[in-house]
Amino acid sequence: MRSLAGNPSCPTAFTLIEMLVTIAIIGILAALLLPLLSKAKEAGKSTACLSNLRQIGLSLQMYVEEHENRMPAMYDALLSSAGPVTNTTTIDIVLTNYLGNPNILRCPADKPGLFEQTGSSYAWNALLNGQLSDQLKVFNIAFDPHQIPVVFDKESFHRAKGGKRGVNFLYADGHIKNLLAIEGTK
């Protein structure tokens, strides 16, 4: 029986060309997968953001139940180049006893520094301050709770999902208008 080790017609290693072709194919496959991975990462961030809004909605419900069916009186902290603006009526202060973890107010997709400067990635609809939760009015026009947003993303954090899909909204009845269910996109 002959050994194959001494037979020059049976190659036992890759040639340089074969190795380069293999590396090129792996590089092409990686380049094709990177956009999919970034979309999956953005989808994960927007899911976490929607979950945060749902938690904020539950916190608002607890607040309203403990305050004679009245919405809180809150204002957004403004961005300042001098550092955080101190305000005792911001969402992070007013709802602190109901949130549990203050990181619920941080959207994972927000701009760096926004949460640190304002205490929240989400804005409050100040037109609803102190109103009865079942008789909401804006400029003396009555709205059903499913029609009026109470909390929303401060900025279009989720622009990667599409131009008009950059902001999530929490409505007074507790439902969330997510990125994919904006009017006219179905």
| Residue for token pair 């640190």 | 116
DSSP 131: -
Better-predicted residue by pLDDT, 88 or 13:
13
Question: Considering only 13-22, 81-90, 99-108, which range has the smallest mean pLDDT?
Answer: 81-90
Mean pLDDT of 81-102: 76
Residues 133-156: tens digit of each pLDDT = 888 888 889 888 888 899 988 877
Q: In this predicted structure, what is the pLDDT of residue 186?
A: 41
Better-predicted residue by pLDDT, 52 or 11:
52
Question: Considering only 51-55, 115-119, 150-154, which range has the smallest mean pLDDT?
Answer: 115-119
The reported pTM is 0.71
d(CA 155, CA 171): 17
What is the per-residue DSSP string for 4-53? STT-TTS--S--HHHHHHHHHHHHHHHHHHHHHHHHHHHHHHHHHHHHHH
| Residue for token pair 């979309």 | 39
Whether residue 1 has pLDDT greater than 60: no
Residue pair 46/158 in contact (Cβ under 8 Å)? The answer is yes
Residues 70-83: tens digit of each pLDDT = 999 988 877 665 55
Regarding beta strands 141-142 and 137-138, do their DSSP bridges make them parallel or antiparallel, or are they unpaired?
antiparallel
- Core vs surface per residue 47-86: b (16+ CB within 10 A) or e: eebbebbebbbebbeebbeeeeeebbebebbeeeeeeeee
